[in-house]
Structure 1
């Protein structure tokens, strides 16, 4: 049988040749006497052979052009895998570069291709961590846990713990360490070290020690574990504790300290003011042959410089060099700062000039220290010259630089400012001026400066940021929106300043306007931050518009931003404003599930919701939860709690709150007492209200008009105008604003048939036009008396 797959590419000439060979074979057979077929049959066989060969040729070509379904699927699958591999490589690169937005987009592409994996999530988590966005890393870790593609590994969780550690957020770092057990993961030494580091950065030595003990009981500490503990001791200035841990790591754990550990001990001694002990440690380490670093000497140099002993600090730099350690620019900046603080700017410049001989160049910190000295001296012109000089040396200013220049210009007279604006060279002077106008909230001056920059064609991103800061600082949201639009057109990113603009617009309560601003910002391709969404959520919350606030919250999550304590608190506040207690409580539960700890604002909002719903028991429950969570109650907390008790008719419990306030070190204010006084009078007990008013005055809390009016009105309703008159005169003696309870007092005097007094007070106080305590009632009473 012919193999059709082998008939690929037969030409016409080849087919004719094959046919010729077949005919020749038939002829040979005939000559030899072996004729098996008739002539007609032979011709038929040759034709059929040609047809079969041609069919095979065409079939093979067709097969090449149009592969079979099996081959096609396999080929497509290979291409799909290759594309997914390419996307994943790009994702890993985005993670290494700390580009979370790009990483998210690539992850979505992998999802669409059906190639999403736990490693994809890990890359996005890493991207957020590298960009110092711990909340974003946490959000993606939660998303990974929720996905049905496998559980996160120890590395992913360690990345999140470490991200929170770098922020000094020990609570979130601890949370994820504790979450590893439910996820059936075994924490490693890096997990514990990151938590210890978080506690150290927060300056909480005891908390760091607790986790070191946990680590000892688990997989055992390493040198990094102890260096973090020693770092915590150094920050706290606890030299004795640092020395104890240095001994314990050697005696109990058999670990040899490295120079980082020794540096922390020296730093702890300096922080404690024990310079001699720090020097003893340095001498001991030199004798032991330990290779010291700049940091080893830096703590002593910094302590001496801060005390103003620049001569001794410079001597230590010489000693450092003699011991083979080359000082860096940070070492000299310590002494530079001392000269600037002492107002010895000539010495500061001498030090900077000497850096070149040592092969060092000033940095931005050097510039900022110098400008700080000029700001203290009130020398704006000297600051401008110093800024130009260091810029010529390659020093690039940072935001703090312009803030310091603002302080320098604040002391400059108008003529100098105009001179700088006219004669100034480049962006340096203009940015200093813009920062100055922003600080003094002078929008007009800033816009004049920007007009010159735009005419020169030289405004930069910093120029527009400073301009917007001026608008926001002055509360001019109209001009702020104008400059925000210009920034969008020029693709200028300035998240923090734009967020401030959004908050300023939010305070106006114009939600529609704010929503348009947010939409424009997003459509321009600029990054929309959580604080921008928070401004809109808060604006809806103030109006009590829960539905719109919740929609905005959901949109924020869809955009890739995570909810924080501000956004959740705003949602609770929105529910409180609309008297939806159960909904407010549900938002706190969502907040807790998201791993975000409620703050005083959150608890105040839910207690206020309880007060609005007259639910004293729930208010009490939330207050207790607040205290148990370690959140310190504020004055507003107690005022809301009192209001809840009063609305529920629990007046005794409301007054008991005064003692609780004292226990928490919170002093009651006029609102506290006015609520209690009004409640007592409303319950028909003006004498109780009177006692509270007296107590208020004894505690040096100035009574408001409302407090006096409540007591006056209470006595009037009880038919005791004399007590009411006593408190009326008391209020006048205290120079309180005119009481508004003229009507009740006049009505009480009329009921007692004291018509002349009623007429006297009706003329002095604000009384209604009609009714029992009105001027008309007094006139009618006097007329009736005359007729009698």
Structure 2
């Protein structure tokens, strides 16, 4: 505890030497706050030494309290240039560079900036990628005579390099008489960022000396540009290595999909930091290897540093990919217990996780609990509600958001349009598409056109969708052609289906779904010769159909089933339950829709058997055996639910009095009391 002297020891205007000493020696946040309060209480705060010292202490990296630093700065009647420099630097170091630049603008009304101000505000421009503002400050630098200052020049070279203005950086570099190691490193970093690896290597070879950072910059640049082999060569040549170079190599391997090399390097690391773990976890998650991401996350909790926001976002995304609700709930509890707030991106990720795991109620609960809702939170819940077929609720929330004065962005409208698509709201979809441009000045991207095409195709407006595609201001992508192809298949339009498939093959010839849908169109029309032709094309191009796969989580274990699967330990019980389900469906009047069997099978009984063994039927049987009565059976399927399974699942939800939630590759279906949330529209 800091001992403060008695009040009578203070002089009216100049602090006692003891207080001066305390101000110089105070190191902890508690001590500084005590002195701060004491200075206000005893009216010595206004002495320049006291206020400026308090400002320095709060801005010191060891304390780094921006809020208190700003409160001190605002109380100083006439802050000196030194005080301005301290507060601007504090904002930059706290990654609030936008506020730092605004403060710099205010400073210009009072002082001419010096060689301490300028490098700091230039660093802020670099962090914001604010090239325009950086160039304006460069002009001011030349005007006030700091164009030859070495530190200012170095800052400008670094800023231009980081912002991709490598020609401007090179011009400044060539004009400078004294080129230190920092300058060389900045230019190498700039060339690496721009993908000009040959020039980066050339400058690296020409460097009069190198430090560890020089080697690391080159390894990092090569890794980010996908030249992992060249990066590894430099990495192996390094005289010594730091964590940054190890992390750069791991990140490069993960981005290139070389997981084995990344794991080998990760296991060899002498030490690891949070970036090492995050690179691995995020790499697995982004490449769809969700279980490996979660397993590594669990190892990190036992052996590594404490997770940060980036770690948890990756872990939540991996949970979403697996639809493992129990793990998602555990993560939520972990975040609460460790004080992770939901006001930012974590709140958005948590809403998305619950929505993708089939618990839209939990997603809504999280959304409602966030006191300071940001646009990301609103967008996440709108998207989630639309995915669950709750278009009315999604649109109501969208309008509530707008009434509150929050301006939707392009991604918000993607969520709104998708909600319309899943509910068959064609007129509403057209309305919101036009609203985006007319009311909010947002020019539709290819993704927005994709949503509109999807709305029309699902509703059977195939010709209108085709017309929109042909008149788009940009080239249609494979998603748009897939929507038209899928709509043609669902509504039996062979001619447009063939047209869409042809265009899709031109754009993305390796798209598996294209061949499957085209084959299904021909099979539905009994054109078996064309089905054979499509399959021959697939064979020649090495394209294989993904088998239907359904998964269900039970007591933290992930169970997967494929069509006709007999590998599960409970196979005997599952097929016994399937036979029971078949008899009960028959008693309820269910007639199998054998038109859904798109294979050249002649007998009706064989076709019925094919339907009965679909992967979601196996998962439902497992759920009926194992999931507690009263709890929903949650299933994730990799393909679209077929009409027959959809009809059967509606009846099964009524027969067994169970809620069955199925997430297919398009949306969620909530089966309950013999009906589905999609209202038979999907």
- TM normalised by structure 2 equals 0.50
More helix by share: 1
More strand by share: 2
